[in-house]
Structure 1
Amino acid sequence: MGRKWNNIKEKKASKDANTSRVYAKFGVEIYVAAKKGEPDPESNRALKVVLERAKTYNVPKAIIDRALDKAKGSGDETYEELRYEGFGPNGSMVIVDALTNNVNRTASAVRSAFNKNGGSMGVSGSVSYMFEPTAVIGLEGKTLDEVMEIMLEADVDVRDIVEEDETVIVYAEPDQFNAVQEALKTAGITDFTIAELSMLAQNFVTLDEEPQAQFEKLIDALEDLEDVQQVYHNVEFGD
């Protein structure tokens, strides 16, 4: 699963490049998750997942608190969760998840990003069947064997545990996200390099230099959109 982890690292590095935009998107995501249930991560699983992910992006506490206070108070903004699917050059596939208060605006912006960057929109289900919803937890300071032992002792089911570049990555079913983190925290691990509920491609493709450059422009254009929260793809970037 190493190639999958590489995919996430590329996405995270891209988002890290513009922290103010990242923080604004997290503000919306936290607000929406908090409005779905209680604004308390201990009783709201969706909110807990978002907050754990926010920590790996170093989202300031002030932004988190502002979003939670808005959800607790009189905030009445309504957002819709949308998923778009499409294609890039040479068999590349893309999934775009968005939160929006204006569906027409978002649909138009996403379609334009695809069309202007060598891609095309697909119908619902045309791409997502090639991806697996997956919990991905990354950490440092422990060996693969140590993490495996922690998971066994806590009786947590995982798909795989791998080690790359001094980082141990745990892949699990989405509903095991909290169980994996709690087992690691019980073992004294409190900092995570990644904590994602992701869509991971079952198969990856590599692109030649020119189509890869075009594909990177497509991903950048999608991630730059205000309403887009997550972009997933099946391209393994070369150096």
Structure 2
Amino acid sequence: MGRSFEVRKASMAKTQGAKIKVYSKYGKEIYVCAKNGGIDPDMNLSLRHLISKAKRDQVPAHVIEKALDKASGGGGEDYQPARYEGFGPGGVSVIVDCLTDNGNRTFQDVRQCFVKTGAKIGTPGVVAHMFDHQAVFQFKGDDEEAVLEALMMEDADVTDIELEDGVITVFAPNTEFFKVKTALNAAFPDLTLDVEEITFVPQNQSPISGEDAEKFQKFLDLLDDCDDVQQVYHNAEIQ
């Protein structure tokens, strides 16, 4: 029983640690969004979306409220966005987005993740052209033609619509995020969006396997441990 308890306790600690990281990242992002665009979600659409996303990821209300209270105070840390690009293990393309109050520290932390796994950090723009910056929506459905028609009726610009295994995915330019979301909600009031985000979509996948795949997972784990890292985008297809 002792060994079983220790394993269970370690698993719970790992899960709790992962939750804390998620809460911390959302708290920082909500704080920055509210500080820059205002704390009223009705006036700050980006904040409204971010809060909705946080709730969907089960971020506690007190974490959200604390970030908003901090932003309303007008003081606090001055976080700035930072983006790093490069090639991960196996040569896959990687974009790392951060929020930082110390650019030098964050660069060194991210750089070490590359160095420790034999990856190579590059100059700005070295891989960004290999991705499309898009709004992505995903929900259950089987009539992509009806979805396309509804979006066209609202003059929403759409890049592509895919239907696979009863799931519809809508791709649109990142600037069309709120227009597409509004059009979908208006046309399908009972619709539940499983995914609604602005992300970097790779133009091509890069298959990796074996040792490269193991190194790449370690690379992602190291980045996940960096407090300033908010998002990691890549084109790896692990086989």
Q: What's the TM-score bracket when you normalise by the shorter of the two chains?
A: 0.7 to 0.9
Residue of structure 1 in register with 2:39 after alignment: 39
> 2:224 corresponds to which letter in structure 1?
E
> 1:86 corresponds to which letter in structure 2?
G
- Cα displacement (A) at 1:129: 1.7
> 1:120 corresponds to which letter in structure 2?
K
Residue of structure 2 in register with 1:8 after alignment: none
CA distance in 2 between counterparts of 1:183 and 1:233 reads: 29
- Cα displacement (A) at 1:128: 1.1
Residue of structure 1 in register with 2:175 after alignment: 175
Residue by residue over 1:9-53, the C-alpha shift from the partner in whole angstroms, topping out at 9 and shown as x without a partner, is xxxxxx999222111100000100111122123322432342343
SS at 1:177's partner residue?
helix
Identify which of structures 1 and 2 has the higher relative contact order when contacts are C-alpha pairs closer than 8 Å and 6+ apart: 1
SS at 1:78's partner residue?
coil
**Residue 132 in 1 paired to residue 106 in 2?**
no
**Contact 2:209-2:238 within 8 A present in 1 as well:** no
Residue of structure 2 in register with 1:71 after alignment: 71
Change (3 A) 1:135 1:21: same
CA distance in 2 between counterparts of 1:22 and 1:165 reads: 29
- Cα displacement (A) at 1:141: 4.7
> 1:112 corresponds to which letter in structure 2?
Q
> 1:113 corresponds to which letter in structure 2?
C
SS at 1:236's partner residue?
strand
Alignment RMSD? 2.2
Residue of structure 1 in register with 2:207 after alignment: 206
- Cα displacement (A) at 1:71: 1.0
Residue by residue over 1:105-162, the C-alpha shift from the partner in whole angstroms, topping out at 9 and shown as x without a partner, is 2111101111112211101111112111111111125642332232123221110111
- Cα displacement (A) at 1:181: 1.1
> 2:160 corresponds to which letter in structure 1?
D
> 2:21 corresponds to which letter in structure 1?
R
**Contact 1:56-1:195 within 8 A present in 2 as well:** no
Where in structure 2 are the equivalents of 1:156-195 lying within 5 Å?
Answer: 156-186=156-186, 187-189=188-190, 191-195=192-196
- Structure 2 residue runs of 5 or longer lacking an equivalent are 1-14
More deviation, 52-61/114-123:
52-61
Residue by residue over 1:157-205, the C-alpha shift from the partner in whole angstroms, topping out at 9 and shown as x without a partner, is 1101112343211110111111111112222145321111101111111
Change (3 A) 1:17 1:236: farther
**Contact 2:80-2:99 within 8 A present in 1 as well:** yes
**Contact 1:56-1:194 within 8 A present in 2 as well:** no
Task: Provide runs of 4+ in structure 1 moved above 6 Å.
Answer: none
CA distance in 2 between counterparts of 1:17 and 1:181 reads: 33
Residue of structure 2 in register with 1:151 after alignment: 151
CA distance in 1 between counterparts of 2:110 and 2:176 reads: 31
More deviation, 24-33/99-108:
99-108
> 2:210 corresponds to which letter in structure 1?
E
- Cα displacement (A) at 1:74: 4.2
The structure having more radius of gyration, on CA atoms, is: 2
SS at 1:84's partner residue?
strand
Change (3 A) 1:82 1:183: same
CA distance in 1 between counterparts of 2:142 and 2:70 reads: 38
Residue of structure 2 in register with 1:236 after alignment: 237
CA distance in 2 between counterparts of 1:192 and 1:16 reads: 27
Change (3 A) 1:140 1:205: same
**Contact 2:142-2:163 within 8 A present in 1 as well:** no
Count, aligned residues: 224
> 2:156 corresponds to which letter in structure 1?
V
